[in-house]
């Protein structure tokens, strides 16, 4: 990887810069260490709502002004709230990047949170949640997470509970913003066609004067160790059943996370590089016509989270069949381990996926922003090498350690008869 410049301004702002001159564009990111995991009951969804309010203007850039400026420049901009972070980005032609740098510096401290705009956005966000509710799998995911985490903030959806979205006030939102949006809790990241020394000078000029207190104490409650399998059942109108199998796994900074990543590549092939038709789970569930599809998710997170496998059942097949097939595959993995050929395949897939993911400056910058959030700015850069170092014994070891009943959460979505549902019976 090209050289990464990593420095910290006196006000605590982390700076990560990487030159990439393959195209005349720059991706500019601002990542804050606050996400839905840091939200107490009553304020669920507040990080996401604050993210929305950041697009509602400052004195210098009134609402809509930046939409126009960035589109005029041919750029893209957006923001994402995750469980662990809130990230903002602009990718622009290199000669227009000043817009992004000035905008993010300004709205770090000067967002207005206009009262009328806040109320207008309340209904927009409730609409966003209601749109998600139209997908049956949203209900399943919400219940599974709720069952998996009784104490930790990972237990609620990023969008928040509707009751909180209806009761939160402008004062709540503004307090959350002022507390978490400050240099010592943030990083700026740039990847693209720039000169590092010039870029650093601009950053110091625009961001160096922003006052910062100490990094905020983030609200966080540790989840107790799981003491047994948990099961939830959801019923929604429709005709398609889903089955979800989750296991508690460690955070992304734990060496075992990378071993689990290889395990996942072998089970589901979810490297992002292929459609996985030779993976163990496809062969066991789709090829046997139990399922129409199967996918697995291993999200790198700050705190221990879940390794999740979701099965879309074919008509006439039962969730219990999916469960039996999945548990059989896990047992086979634990008893037989993996072959060197499977491991080599997973490694090559990893190399290819990494090559694809580094072809755009936006994706490279995203990787660095994620690294900052995970507490190790080299996490993304060392990702491929750490995966290459995983052995067959390592995969077996984590399969035995984590894919066990004690840390398991099972979710089943049963479709209900739409006609009866409509009739209220």
Partner 1 sequence: MTDLQTSIPNESNIIRAELDNGITLLVYENPAVQSVNVMGSLQAGSIYEKPEQSGLASLVAGALMTGTKGADFDAIHGALEDVGADLGFRGHVHKVGFSGKALAEDLSLLLDTAGDALRNPIFPAEHIERLRGERLTWLQYSSFDTRYRAAKAMREALYPDTHPYHYGTYGDQDSITKITDDNLREFHAGHFGPRGMILVIVGAVEASQAVQLAADAFGDWGNSEQPAVLQAHEPQNVAGGLRPTVVVPGKTQSDIHMGIVGPARKADDYLAAQLANSVLGEFGMMGRIGKSVREEKGLAYYAYSRLGGGHGPDPWTISAGVNPDNVELAIASIMDEIERLTSATVTDEDLADNQSYFTGRMPLRLESNEGIASHIHSMESFELGLNYLADYERMIYRITKDDLLRAAQNYLRQEGMVVAVAGPDQAAS
Instruction: Report which of 261, 41, 241, 62 is spatially closest to residue 160, judged by C-alpha positions.
Output: 41
Binding to partner 1 (CB under 8 A) within 315-334 occurs at: 315
For partner 1, the binding residues in 67-86 under the rule CB under 8 A are 67-68, 71-76
Q: Does 336 bind partner 1 (CB under 8 A)?
A: no
- Given 114, 128, 204, 256, the residue binding partner 1 (CB under 8 A): 128
CB atoms < 10 A from the CB of 57, how many? 20
Is residue 125 at the binding interface for partner 1, with CB under 8 A as the rule?
A: yes
Interaction between residue 211 and partner 1 (CB under 8 A): no
Closest distance of CB 165 from partner 1, Å: 12
Is residue 64 involved in binding partner 1 (CB under 8 A)?
yes
- Tell me, residue by residue from 92 to 121, as one string, x for binding to partner 1 by CB under 8 A and - for no binding: xxx-x----------------------xxx
- The region of 105-113, 122-130, 141-149, 209-217 touching partner 1 under the rule CB under 8 A is 122-130
Q: How far is the CB of 240 from partner 1 (least distance, A)?
A: 4
User: Applying CB under 8 A, does 58 fall inside the site for partner 1?
Assistant: no
Q: Does residue 55 interact with partner 1 by CB under 8 A?
A: yes
Site for partner 1 in 2-31 (CB under 8 A): 21-25
Q: Which of 290, 400, 286, 282 is nearest to 338 (CA)?
A: 400
Number of residues that bind partner 1 (CB under 8 A): 79
Residue 206: burial class (beta carbons within 10 Å; 0-12, 13-18, 19+): middle
Beta carbons of 367 and 380 less than 8 angstroms apart: yes
Q: Assess 123 for contact with partner 1 (CB under 8 A).
A: yes
DSSP string, 90-158: EEEEGGGHHHHHHHHHHHTT-B---HHHHHHHHHHHHHHHHHHHTSHHHHHHHHHHHHH-SSSGGGS-T
191 near partner 1, rule: CB under 8 A: no
Smallest distance from partner 1 to CB 251, Å? 27
We find the least distance from the C-beta atom of residue 295 to partner 1, in angstroms, to be 13
308 binds partner 1 (CB under 8 A): no
The residue within the footprint of partner 1, chosen from 62, 224, 293, 375 (CB under 8 A), is: 293
* Beta-sheet strands, E only, within 147-257: 186-192, 230-237, 242-249
**Sites for partner 1 among residues 272-291 (CB under 8 A):** 273-279, 286-287, 289
Nearest by Cα to 184 from 374, 371, 6, 31:
31
- The binder of partner 1 chosen from 156, 180, 314, 408 (CB under 8 A): 314
Cα–Cα distance, 122 to 144 (Å, whole number):
26
Question: What is d(CA 380, CA 389) in angstroms, rounded to the nearest whole number?
Answer: 15
Shortest separation between residue 93's beta carbon and partner 1, angstroms: 5
**Three-class secondary structure of residue 331 per DSSP:** helix
- Tell me if 6 sits within 8 A of 15, measured CB to CB: yes
Report CA torsion sign: 158, 159, 164, 170.
positive
Q: Which of 4, 267, 310, 353 binds partner 1 (CB under 8 A)?
A: 353
163 touches partner 1 by CB under 8 A = no
């Amino acid at each position: 990887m090209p050289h990464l410049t990593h420095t910290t301004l006196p006000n605590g702002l982390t700076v990560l810069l990487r030159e990439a001159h393959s195209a005349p564009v720059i991706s500019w990111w601002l990542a804050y260490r606050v996400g839905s995991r840091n939200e107490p009951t009553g304020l669920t969804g507040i990080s996401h709502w604050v993210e929305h309010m950041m697009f509602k203007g400052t004195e210098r850039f009134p609402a809509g002004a930046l939409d126009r400026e960035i589109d005029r420049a041919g750029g893209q901009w957006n923001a994402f709230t995750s469980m662990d972070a809130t990230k903002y980005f602009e990718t622009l032609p290199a000669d227009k990047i000043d817009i992004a740098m000035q905008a993010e510096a300004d709205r770090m401290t000067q967002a207005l949170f206009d009262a009328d705009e806040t109320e207008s956005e309340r209904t927009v966000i409730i609409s966003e949640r209601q749109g998600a509710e139209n997908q049956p799998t949203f209900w399943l995911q919400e219940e599974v997470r709720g069952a998996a985490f009784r104490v930790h903030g990972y237990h609620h959806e990023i969008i928040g509970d509707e009751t909180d979205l209806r009761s939160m006030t402008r004062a709540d939102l503004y307090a959350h913003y002022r507390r978490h949006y400050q240099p010592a809790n943030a990083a700026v990241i740039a990847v693209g066609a720039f000169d590092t020394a010039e870029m650093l000078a601009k950053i110091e000029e625009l961001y160096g004067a922003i006052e910062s207190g100490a990094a905020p104490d983030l609200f966080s409650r540790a989840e107790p160790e799981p003491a047994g399998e948990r099961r939830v059942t959801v019923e929604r109108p429709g005709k398609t059943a889903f089955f979800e199998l989750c296991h508690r796994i460690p955070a992304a900074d734990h060496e075992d996370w990378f071993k689990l990543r290889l395990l996942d590549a072998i089970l589901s092939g979810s490297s992002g590089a292929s459609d996985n038709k030779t993976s163990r789970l496809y062969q066991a569930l789709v090829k046997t016509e139990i399922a129409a599809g199967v996918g697995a998710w291993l999200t790198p997170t700050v705190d221990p989270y879940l390794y999740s496998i979701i099965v879309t059942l074919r008509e006439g097949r039962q969730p219990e069949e999916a469960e039996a097939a999945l548990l059989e595959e896990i047992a086979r993995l634990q008893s037989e381990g993996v072959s060197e050929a499977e491991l080599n395949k997973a490694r090559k897939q990893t190399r290819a996926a990494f090559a694809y993911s580094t072809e755009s400056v936006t994706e490279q910058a995203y990787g660095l922003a994620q690294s900052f959030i995970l507490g190790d700015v080299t996490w993304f850069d060392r990702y491929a090498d750490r995966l290459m170092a995983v052995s067959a014994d390592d995969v077996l070891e984590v399969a035995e350690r984590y894919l066990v009943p004690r840390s398991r959460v099972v979710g089943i979505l049963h479709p209900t008869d739409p006609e009866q549902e409509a009739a209220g019976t």
